[in-house]
């Protein structure tokens, strides 16, 4: 039983404690001594993120889209061994792209859909369904430099699957490449792929004036009808972000790749994830179209504890609408494809392909459903 005197004493102590200081009322310092430490950064937290508006992203993509290329982009072909991916998004859109992704949770950022491959999606008549064909493979960059034997994911967005070099197109370097001329013909066209946000340093240029201490660059490569890369080029930007010409990759150059992520509650933005250090090109570069399982086939020290095998593979639609000077963006899905990364080669068909099973990562869904 608390006596009134004790109660008064307790009340007085309580009041004194509460009224010691109030920074928003007056004064600045208040220290509440709870034995709590801020969370320690994990591997996922150490990743470097930057968000870039989709407007800037598409402006960058459109820079190389000459009218001929834009026309070609509507004629997507089908690589061997491909499977059809189906997604759904309501509304009328200027364009819809389809991305093969998996979901990863990054503390302080949230769930991101990590891009593996990207295509322009084709609408099924006037329905809300859009389709893309995927050859079940991912592109990897293998550099015989400081990181021998470690392939790095190339999040490749396909600009066209019907590329035939022409004298007046945007890629004179490919027109002058004997491999490209031989492989990419009207009867057997190639695919042209874009990998944005590559950091590049050559051994002779002073990059001290560049924001990141390196030139921002986009990597392009041509893949033949079988999907194998036959030519590669880098599109460079200067310190102010202005286009600064193209270059082939040479021994001694340094590269740092990024991956691309999409956050479902930020449809107007693309997230660029830096996860690796610069790697020096030694004797050459190879772009591999392989079915690697990171964590099993190789271990990347920058991706500790990543076992990609059990990751569910999903299909995400990203749509844009041009409204004069203010375009709008939206996501459809992501849709579970019914298999994990380790199940990709053996996958034949699943009811999920037609039933369209959202993975629960839509903005309204509970985060626990992100797997």
156-163 vs 110-120, strand pairing mode: parallel
> Which of these ranges, 23-31, 118-126, 152-160, 224-232, lies near other proteins under the rule CB under 8 A?
23-31
User: E strands along 83-228, which residues?
Assistant: 83-88, 95-106, 110-120, 122-123, 129-134, 138-143, 152-154, 156-163, 190-201, 215-223
Q: How far apart are CA 120 and CA 158, in angstroms?
A: 7
> Which of these ranges, 27-35, 248-256, 307-315, 353-361, lies near other proteins under the rule CB under 8 A?
27-35
Q: How far apart are CA 6 and CA 109, in angstroms?
A: 49
- Helix %, strand %, coil % of the chain (to 5): 15, 40, 45
Does residue 334 have a cis peptide bond before it, meaning omega lies within 30 degrees of 0?
A: yes
Residues 195-224 touching other proteins, rule: CB under 8 A, are: 211-212, 216
- In degrees and rounded to multiples of 5, residue 201 shows phi and psi of -135, 130
* 55 contacts other proteins (rule: CB under 8 A): yes
User: How many residues bind to other proteins according to rule CB under 8 A?
Assistant: 52
Selected binder of other proteins within 3, 5, 28, 126 (CB under 8 A): 28
Selected binder of other proteins within 33, 125, 324, 346 (CB under 8 A): 33
Q: Which two tokens stand for residue 314?
A: 């999903």
* 61 contacts other proteins (rule: CB under 8 A): no
Selected binder of other proteins within 1, 5, 16, 39 (CB under 8 A): 39
Q: How far apart are CA 144 and CA 148, in angstroms?
A: 5
Task: Count other C-beta atoms under 10 Å from residue 362's C-beta.
Answer: 14
Compare residues 87 and 155 and give the one whose CB is closer to other proteins: 155
* 125 contacts other proteins (rule: CB under 8 A): no
* 335 contacts other proteins (rule: CB under 8 A): no
Residues 75-114 touching other proteins, rule: CB under 8 A, are: 107-109
> Which of these ranges, 14-22, 136-144, 149-157, 249-257, lies near other proteins under the rule CB under 8 A?
14-22
Instruction: Build a one-symbol-per-residue string for 261-290: x at contacts with other proteins by CB under 8 A, - elsewhere.
Output: --x-xx-xx-xx------------------
Selected binder of other proteins within 16, 23, 125, 301 (CB under 8 A): 23
* 25 contacts other proteins (rule: CB under 8 A): yes
Q: Which two tokens stand for residue 321?
A: 């609408």
Q: How far apart are CA 346 and CA 257, in angstroms?
A: 30
Q: Which residues bind other proteins (CB under 8 A)?
A: 7, 11, 14-15, 18-30, 32-39, 41, 45, 48-53, 55-56, 59, 107-109, 211-212, 216, 240-242, 263, 265-266, 268-269, 271-272
């Amino acid at each position: 039983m608390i006596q009134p005197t004790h109660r008064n004493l307790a009340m007085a102590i309580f009041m004194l404690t509460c009224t010691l200081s109030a920074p928003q009322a007056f004064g600045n310092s208040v220290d509440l001594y709870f034995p709590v430490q801020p969370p320690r950064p994990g591997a996922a937290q150490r990743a470097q993120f930057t968000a870039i508006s989709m407007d800037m992203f598409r402006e960058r993509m459109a820079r190389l889209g000459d009218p001929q290329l834009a026309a070609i982009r509507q004629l997507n072909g089908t690589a061997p061994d491909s499977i059809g991916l189906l997604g759904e998004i309501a509304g009328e859109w200027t364009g819809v792209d389809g991305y093969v992704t998996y979901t990863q949770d990054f503390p302080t950022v949230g769930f991101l859909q990590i891009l593996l491959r990207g295509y322009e999606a084709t609408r099924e008549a006037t329905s809300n369904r859009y389709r893309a064909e995927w050859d079940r493979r991912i592109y990897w960059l293998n550099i015989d430099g400081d990181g021998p034997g470690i392939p790095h994911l190339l999040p490749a967005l396909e600009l066209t699957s019907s590329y035939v070099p022409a004298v007046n197109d945007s890629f004179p370097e490919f027109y002058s490449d004997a491999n490209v001329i031989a492989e990419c013909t009207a009867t057997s066209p190639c695919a042209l792929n874009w990998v944005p946000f590559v950091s590049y340093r050559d051994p002779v240029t002073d990059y001290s004036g560049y924001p990141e201490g390196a030139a921002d660059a986009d990597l392009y490569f041509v893949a033949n009808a079988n999907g194998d890369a036959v030519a590669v080029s880098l599109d460079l930007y200067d310190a102010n972000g202005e286009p600064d010409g193209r270059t082939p990759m040479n021994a001694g150059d340094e590269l740092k790749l990024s991956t691309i992520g999409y956050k479902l509650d930020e449809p107007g933005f693309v997230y660029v994830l830096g996860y690796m250090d610069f790697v020096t090109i030694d004797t050459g570069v190879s772009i591999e179209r392989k079915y690697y399982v990171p964590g099993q086939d190789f271990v990347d020290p920058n991706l500790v504890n990543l076992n990609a095998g059990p990751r569910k593979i999903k299909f995400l639609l990203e749509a844009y609408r041009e409204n004069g000077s203010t375009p709008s963006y939206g996501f459809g899905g992501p849709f579970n494809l019914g298999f994990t990364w380790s199940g990709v080669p053996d996958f034949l068909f699943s009811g999920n392909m037609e039933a369209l099973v959202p993975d629960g990562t839509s903005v309204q869904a509970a985060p626990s459903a992100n797997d």
